[in-house]
Amino acid sequence: MKKLFSLLVLLLFSLPASGEDQIDRTKVKPDMTEGIHVDGSSIFNYVDEKKRRRLSLDVYRPATGEGPYPAIVMYFGGGWQNGRPALFAPLAQALAQRGYVCIVPEYRLSGEAPFPAAIHDAKAAIRWTRKNAKRLSVDPGRIATMGGSAGGHLSGFMGASNGIERFEGDGEHQDASSEVQASVVMCGPMDMLSGGVADRAEAGAKTEVGDAILDFMGGVVPSADPDLYREASPLTHLSKASPPMLFIDGENDRPKLRYPDFWKKMDELGIPHEFVLMPDAPHPFWVMREWFDPTVEAVDGFLKKHL
């Protein structure tokens, strides 16, 4: 009887003290391979005249069915200064299992080329997707973008700048459209002159370390060239040609503060938009197990409605 009592006591005190302690905040692994095909490192764009600097992308697509499927072009985050397509592999796998063809491109980071280089590359990936729609079993009339953090900025920029030719760049497949039919923004700045973005850049310029925003803007501070920051803001380019958008924030990551003026303008233009708050979530919530499935559910539900 004593042994049984001791065992019960041991089990009791070995349990987590609260539900909070049981939360799984481990990173999601890219192991959701059932029912999908993965095509890695397909070249989609060249960014120099001699075509020696090439950009590649990864494709995740359903292994069964005939399509055509909706597509999601997904942009990883990292302050526009680091990161790689593999960071979005888990989300791409999970959404491919739900019937989407997911394209995850690389883009030139700020250490190689500042704004608008990443914008040009992001649009080139959309053009490549539409150009290869038949081969990929993609419906060219149902292409969305999605991104987190810096990638969220790129995703929002893609939707906001639908139809604006000056952002196409000189990349491949100029005969294909880069317009998208929906955009998902996770924690991405929509106005580079508000929400603390400009303040960060100004403060970074006064330190040896600098700041990711400052690097993305080519070392130029907002006070020296506000028009440049305005040009880099999705808010500036929002129009009636822009598609429905979903915004997802973590509760512990300045929720809603990046979007008020953007939402106001969307309302004025009659563009549908939705917001999802991830409870107790940090930045970046989408890589962690606790918020991964809710993110996939939110994106799938939104795109089923609007795409």
Structure tokens at 282: 């940090």
CA-nearest of 180, 174, 130 to 154 is 180
**7, 221, 257 from 184: Cα distances, Å:** 50, 28, 16
Q: What is the pLDDT along the chain (307 residues), one digit of tens a residue?
A: 444 434 433 333 333 333 444 556 799 999 999 999 999 899 999 999 899 999 999 999 999 888 999 999 999 999 999 999 999 999 999 999 999 999 999 999 999 999 999 999 999 999 999 999 999 999 999 999 999 999 999 999 999 999 999 999 999 999 999 999 999 999 999 999 986 899 999 999 999 999 999 999 999 999 999 999 999 999 999 999 999 999 999 999 999 999 999 999 999 999 999 999 999 999 999 999 999 999 999 999 999 999 9
Written as one string, the DSSP assignment of 110-138 is TTT--TTHHHHHHHHHHHHHHHTHHHHTE
Rounded Cα distance between 175 and 272, Å, is 29
Residue 31 placed within a domain:
yes
Rounded Cα distance between 192 and 258, Å, is 9
Q: What are phi and psi of 227, to 5 degrees?
A: -65, -35
Residue 121 and residue 74 in one domain: yes
HSE toward the beta carbon, residue 17, CA cutoff 13 A = 0
Residue 133 and residue 33 in one domain: yes
Residue 172 and residue 268 in one domain: yes
Residue 203 and residue 99 in one domain: no
Residue 293 and residue 219 in one domain: no
Residue 7 placed within a domain:
no
In DSSP terms, which residues pair with 275 in a beta bridge?
247
Q: Give me the CATH number covering residue 165.
A: 3.40.50.1820
Written as one string, the DSSP assignment of 230-292 is HHT-HHHH--TT---EEEEEETTS-TTTT-HHHHHHHHHHT--EEEEEETT--TTGGGBHHHH
Residue 247 and residue 99 in one domain: yes
pTM (two decimals): 0.92
Residue 17 placed within a domain:
no
The answer to whether residues 79 and 18 touch, using CB atoms and an 8 Å cutoff, is no
For residue 284, cis peptide bond before it (omega within 30 degrees of 0): yes
Rounded Cα distance between 204 and 197, Å, is 11
Rounded Cα distance between 67 and 134, Å, is 10
